[in-house]
Amino acid sequence: MATYKGIKGVKVVTKTSDPTASEAAGTVWYNSTGDALKYAINAGGAWASANSLGTARYQAAGDGTQTAAYVVGGTTGPTLQKINEQYDGTNWTEAADLNTARRNLGSFGTPSTALGFGGQTPSITNITESWNGSSWTEVGNLNQSRTGLCGNGAGISNSSGLVAGGTITPNTDETETWNGTSWTEVADLNTARESCGVRGIVTAAIAAGGHDGSVTGKTETWNGTSWTEVADLTTARSAVALGGISTSAVCMGGESAPPATNLANAETWDGTSWTAAAALATARGRIVGAGTGNTSALAAAGQLVGNAASNACEEWDDPAYIIKTVTVS
């Protein structure tokens, strides 16, 4: 009869507490405290609930990584927000507010250096504010006022980044780059749209989904000079968020074609194509996305059924490791 030692070459180890799931993947151990035989597996990509934001909202902006992100602005019903919250991987903490409350703005950066731009105050604006880790300061305005940015932008600090698309009435294809002082108009998107996801850096970005007269799954990548249309999302969606870069990203939530329905669907991008992934626990549109790529991302806030605001936060990991208990029945 085969034994664990015969198969693995070692005995089942006794532990008083469980190791981390990722460390223990592929092993078996006996938890003497809980009197249970346990093992850990790679469960593929999965979303896990995290601590909620202090202020529920949608049409907010934000960026960062799964362990260091921020959410700023947005709206809670009819009330425009200027609140800035920062995430340290465990908790959300309120920091200094935007100077101008607004919704549907764009943003890129980190909790210590970021840029917020455009949106509605309630009128469509081109106001740009720079964050230095302590306060927001008004800087050079966008050349084109625009809303419908859904929190998106491409950049990793307040000194360099990109905005593409949005609504001017009608939707726009205009792209502008930021050099730390001013915005410059550059090559347009191939498809004018609003409420699309945009992430990356000023020389390598991705734009996906949105509304171009109808809800779309069109995806384009930016090489620092021009946009190129690439493979579509598997599910067309608007009011969507992205986390990641031009070669590795996660698309999360959004809204379906009319009659608009909040989506829980998520997809991962490998630089060539989109692949359906595990769904969010809470379906919502107009959310904030953050992340470094298709293996690690964050989804925060958003719009629920009946225009209710959400303060939910979920973390994406791929692979996600899970500890299981051996049961005998």
HSE on the CB side for 120, CA within 13 Å?
Answer: 20
Give the closest residue to 289 by CA, choosing from 255, 257, 314.
314
- Whether the model clears a pTM of 0.75, i.e. scores above it, the answer is yes
Tell me how far apart the 2 most distant CA atoms of the chain are, in Å: 75
Please tell me the predicted confidence (pLDDT) of residue 2. Answer: 66
d(CA 52, CA 263): 19
What are the DSSP calls for 155-168, one per residue? EEETTEEEEE--BS
Beta bridge partners of 146: none
Q: How far apart are the first and last CA of the chain?
A: 21
Residue 292: strand, helix, or coil: strand
Report, as an integer, the average pLDDT of 291-296: 96
**All domains of the chain in start order, with CATH:** 4-42 (no CATH), 46-317 (2.120.10.80)
Phi, psi of 4 (to 5 degrees): -60, -40
d(CA 242, CA 101): 23
User: What is the radius of gyration, based on Cα positions, of the chain?
Assistant: 21
Q: What is the pLDDT of residues 152-182, one digit of tens each?
A: 999 999 999 999 999 998 999 999 999 999 9
Would you tell me how many other CB atoms lie within 10 Å of the CB of residue 229? 13
Q: What is the pLDDT of residues 298-316, one digit of tens each?
A: 999 999 998 899 999 999 9
By percentage, how much of the chain surpasses pLDDT 90?
A: 84
Q: Which two tokens stand for residue 93?
A: 């903490």
- 150 confidence band (pLDDT: 50, 70, 90): confident
Q: What is the pLDDT of residues 50-77, one digit of tens each?
A: 999 999 999 999 999 999 999 999 999 8
Q: Contact 283/301 with Cβ under 8 angstroms?
A: no
Q: Contact 326/36 with Cβ under 8 angstroms?
A: yes
